A and B are shown apart, each in its own frame.
Chain A
Amino acid sequence: MTMIQLAAALISVLYGGIACLRHRQPLFFKILLYGLISYFFGALFTACYSVVHGGGPVGFHVGYFGHIGAYFFLFSSYYGAIDHLADGGESKYRVLRIVSAIPAIVPIALLVWGIVNYGLSTMLPLLMLILPMTFTLYFAVKHLVFPDVEMGIIRVMRPYNGCVILFCIAELAGQFHYLPETVRTASAILSCLFLVLLLPLAEKGVRKWFI
């Protein structure tokens, strides 16, 4: 599974790198590329660990930081780069902002459930992963449901935002050890698929910003 993740991350990084070299890309796209580089390093660490030690790492390991970093960059790409273009802070959209926060409750609820049943020490590493993932999920849902009033920036990014939501869900399901093994394996494979789709969908969207 680690090798599939590594291959998916490598494909994404190469795609993003070539896309940046071929055309001028907006800040949003470049931050996404950094996120995938982080994911790639995390997967590379896990793969190298398996090769060096003859088995995958158990418990918390540095490979998690690759995933944590990827979510921080995804979060950053929304919060730091395009959210101010999508949301002008008008009070009439307050309900939409609250609705967008509802799906973000799911990871927190799963984490709390895990802490209650398996203890804080077991679930602590996941806490660091789930915090940026929750914020990413919030912005992805928000940009999916928010009306595109004038600039067309949000509308063209909807397929990408859908992919980010699916990626977060698949990654989330793959992280909780108390979920059935088949669910976790399927989630891990799906997360690789969504990971590969992230940059092409983002590029397709951002290309329309300049038309």
Chain B
Amino acid sequence: MVYIIFFCISIPMLLMLPLLESRSRWIVGFFLLGAVTALAAYEINTIVFPFSGMSARSFSELIPPIVEELLKALPVLCYALLLDDSRKRVLPVAMAVGVGFAVLENTALLVEYLGSVSIAWAAGRGFSASLMHGLCTVTIGTGICYVKKQKKLFYTGTFGLISIAITMHALFNLLIQSSFDIIGMIMPLTLYALLYVLRSRKKMKLPFLSY
């Protein structure tokens, strides 16, 4: 089913790519790559789960955050290495990968639980899980920007940023499946608002964040 959804989403978007202007084409292209990483993550998680010996809930709190964050970082790393490592280019591409991942995941879940989903569910997923995927990839992307400019910072800083992204993702998965799901839903929005405010303050230039 996931493959059917993937083809339904990706083929029209692929056909649209030649008509787009350069920057939009990259954004839509990486959105599609995000969907491809979601497919890869789905396959890896499906293979690893029976061998882990964990319950579905414990598994979702440990393995998918690691697998998904590492997979989402790969297209962003390739873009920065091969095409352009400027922050203005890398961060939107990273967000596109994260959102592309989230769109495929949300659609797959929608089809799986078609009988029980509602508009509130869709809005909740959009503002929480989707935003979380985007934010985590942007977090890693901020370190990937240094891949050519400051290699020493890139090597060490990116590992640190991947650790933050994995922890954030796992924390979200932990809370959203518990009775504290409201906190889990609010967390990505709060982090997004915080990052937006910090970024818009011209005075404060953070090494991995500021444009």
A-side interface residues toward B, CB under 8 Å? 20-21, 24, 27, 30-31, 34-35, 37-38, 41-42, 44-45, 48-49, 51-52, 60-63, 65-66, 68-70, 72-73, 75-76, 79-81, 132
CB pair A38 B163 closer than 8 Å: yes
| B62 interfacial by beta-carbon distance below 8 Å | yes
Cβ distance A167 to chain B, nearest Cβ, rounded Å: 16
**Given A52-B178, A76-B157, are A45 and B62 also a contact pair (CB < 8 Å)?**
no
| A80 to B161 CA separation, bound complex (whole angstroms) | 14
**Given A21-B204, A45-B171, A62-B62, are A80 and B178 also a contact pair (CB < 8 Å)?**
no
Chain B residues whose C-beta falls within 8 Å of the C-beta of A24 in the assembled complex: 203, 205
Q: List 23 contacting pairs A-B, 8 Å CB cutoff, sorted by A.
A: A20-B204, A30-B206, A37-B164, A38-B160, A41-B164, A41-B167, A48-B171, A52-B178, A60-B62, A62-B61, A62-B65, A62-B171, A65-B167, A65-B170, A66-B163, A69-B161, A69-B167, A70-B163, A72-B163, A73-B156, A79-B152, A80-B156, A81-B153
| B174 interfacial by beta-carbon distance below 8 Å | yes
Chain A residues whose C-beta falls within 8 Å of the C-beta of B201 in the assembled complex: 21
CB pair A72 B157 closer than 8 Å: yes
Task: Determine which of B150, B170, B178 lies in contact with A62 in the assembled complex, contact meaning CB atoms within 8 Å.
Answer: B170
Q: For chain A, what secondary structure do more than half of its interface residues adopt (helix, strand, loop), or is it mixed?
A: helix
**Given A34-B208, A62-B166, are A73 and B160 also a contact pair (CB < 8 Å)?**
yes
Cβ distance A26 to chain B, nearest Cβ, rounded Å: 10
For B62, B156, B180, the residue with the greatest tally of chain A CB atoms inside 10 Å of its CB is: B156
**A-B contact number at CB 8 A:** 104
CB pair B152 A132 closer than 8 Å: no
CB pair A76 B156 closer than 8 Å: yes
CB pair B180 A72 closer than 8 Å: no
CB pair B207 A27 closer than 8 Å: yes
CB pair A132 B150 closer than 8 Å: no
| B175 interfacial by beta-carbon distance below 8 Å | yes
Cβ distance A9 to chain B, nearest Cβ, rounded Å: 12
CB interface residues, B 146-164, toward A, < 8 Å: 150, 152-153, 155-157, 159-164
Chain B residues whose C-beta falls within 8 Å of the C-beta of A35 in the assembled complex: 160
| A34 to B167 CA separation, bound complex (whole angstroms) | 13
Task: Determine which of A27, A63, A79 lies in contact with B156 in the assembled complex, contact meaning CB atoms within 8 Å.
Answer: A79
| B9 interfacial by beta-carbon distance below 8 Å | no
Cβ distance A19 to chain B, nearest Cβ, rounded Å: 11
| A132 to B153 CA separation, bound complex (whole angstroms) | 14
Cβ distance A31 to chain B, nearest Cβ, rounded Å: 6
Cβ distance B207 to chain A, nearest Cβ, rounded Å: 5
Chain A residues whose C-beta falls within 8 Å of the C-beta of B164 in the assembled complex: 34, 37-38, 41, 66, 69
| B40 interfacial by beta-carbon distance below 8 Å | no
| B168 interfacial by beta-carbon distance below 8 Å | yes
Chain B residues whose C-beta falls within 8 Å of the C-beta of A49 in the assembled complex: 61, 174
| A81 to B156 CA separation, bound complex (whole angstroms) | 11
| A38 to B163 CA separation, bound complex (whole angstroms) | 7
Chain B residues whose C-beta falls within 8 Å of the C-beta of A52 in the assembled complex: 174-175, 178-180
Chain A residues whose C-beta falls within 8 Å of the C-beta of B205 in the assembled complex: 24
**Given A20-B204, A45-B171, A48-B175, are A68 and B156 also a contact pair (CB < 8 Å)?**
no
Chain A residues whose C-beta falls within 8 Å of the C-beta of B163 in the assembled complex: 38, 42, 65-66, 68-70, 72
CB pair A80 B204 closer than 8 Å: no
CB pair B167 A75 closer than 8 Å: no
CB interface residues, B 118-162, toward A, < 8 Å: 150, 152-153, 155-157, 159-162
| A143 to B168 CA separation, bound complex (whole angstroms) | 32
Cβ distance A52 to chain B, nearest Cβ, rounded Å: 4
CB pair B153 A76 closer than 8 Å: yes
Chain A residues whose C-beta falls within 8 Å of the C-beta of B171 in the assembled complex: 41, 44-45, 48, 62
Cβ distance B143 to chain A, nearest Cβ, rounded Å: 9
Chain A residues whose C-beta falls within 8 Å of the C-beta of B174 in the assembled complex: 45, 48-49, 52
Chain B residues whose C-beta falls within 8 Å of the C-beta of A42 in the assembled complex: 163, 167
